[in-house]
């Protein structure tokens, strides 16, 4: 988001397992990210993204009309309430419930696939030629999909061709590549989500 808009920024890393006291003062939820913009503190990713888009307007990343903005917000929410939780539920699934969790996850992917098909996208992005807040939201989620393959042996099925193409387009986009997390780091972070019955078999 910041790189896409070419906004200068400085990153302060936080160890979420050992949060410093000062961080809890600026982040009431104890979550990352938190934005400090000239002393104005903003937290929650979706809220931060809209704040940045409204504050730095040279590269707009929302729709031009209320209807367009509403549609983008719907699909941002879909990522935050369906796609990302679905990914985590597959990672956390005990062996006996794995197939059911995968099925629920794929139902969400199917809804996304259908929307992309109906709108002739990605071309190359969610809304066409322009990189929007929807793309900025899904890029890190899609990046984490690789952990499903590494940790649970699950690959996004080929029938979700448009979703897979969108994933590839985002992964190749310069501002996304600039902040890509190495796969080994993602795997190390997400191994902790596995149930113990599965984790003991992961090398």
Evaluate whether 18 touches 9 at the Cβ level (below 8 Å). no
Which pLDDT does position 202 carry in this prediction? 67
Domain regions of the chain by residue span: 1-59, 66-199
Q: Give start and end residues of each alpha helix (H) in the chain.
A: 21-26, 45-55, 66-78, 84-92, 98-118, 133-152, 161-172, 174-177, 183-190, 196-199
pLDDT in tens, 108-153: 999 999 999 999 999 999 999 999 999 999 999 999 999 999 999 9
| Crossing angle of the two packed helices 84-92 and 98-118, in degrees rounded to 10 | 160
Q: What is the pLDDT of residues 46-86, one digit of tens each?
A: 999 999 999 999 999 999 999 999 999 999 999 999 999 99
- Domain 1-59 fold is Glutaredoxin (3.40.30)
C-alpha 176/C-alpha 139 separation (Å) is 7
CA 14 to chain centre: 19
Q: What angle do CA 34, 36, 42 make, to 5 degrees?
A: 50
Arch. (CATH architecture) of 66-199: Up-down Bundle (1.20)
Residue 203: pLDDT band with limits 50, 70, 90: low
Distance of CA 147 to the CA centre of its chain: 13
Q: Are 62 and 71 in contact (CB under 8 A)?
A: no
Q: Residue 196: exposed, middle, or buried by beta-carbon count in 10 A (0-12, 13-18, 19+)?
A: exposed
């Amino acid at each position: 988001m910041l790189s896409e808009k070419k906004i200068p920024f400085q990153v302060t890393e936080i160890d979420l397992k050992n949060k410093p006291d000062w961080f809890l003062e600026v982040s009431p939820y104890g979550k990352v990210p938190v934005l400090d913009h000239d002393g104005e503190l903003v937290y929650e990713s979706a809220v931060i993204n809209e704040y940045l888009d409204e504050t730095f307007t040279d590269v707009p990343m929302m729709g031009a009309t209320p209807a367009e903005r509403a549609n983008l917000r719907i699909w941002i929410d879909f990522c935050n309430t369906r796609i990302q939780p679905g990914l985590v539920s597959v990672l956390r699934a005990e062996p006996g419930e794995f197939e059911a969790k995968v099925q629920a996850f794929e139902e969400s992917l199917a809804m996304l696939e259908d929307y992309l098909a109906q709108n002739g996208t990605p071309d190359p992005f969610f809304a066409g030629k322009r990189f929007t807040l929807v793309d900025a939201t899904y890029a890190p989620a899609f990046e984490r999909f690789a952990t499903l393959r590494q940790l649970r042996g699950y690959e996004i099925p080929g029938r979700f061709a448009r979703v897979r193409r969108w994933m590839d387009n985002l992964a190749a986009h310069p501002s996304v590549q600039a902040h890509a997390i190495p796969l080994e780091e993602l795997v190390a972070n997400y191994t902790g989500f596995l149930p113990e019955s599965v984790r003991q078999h992961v090398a």
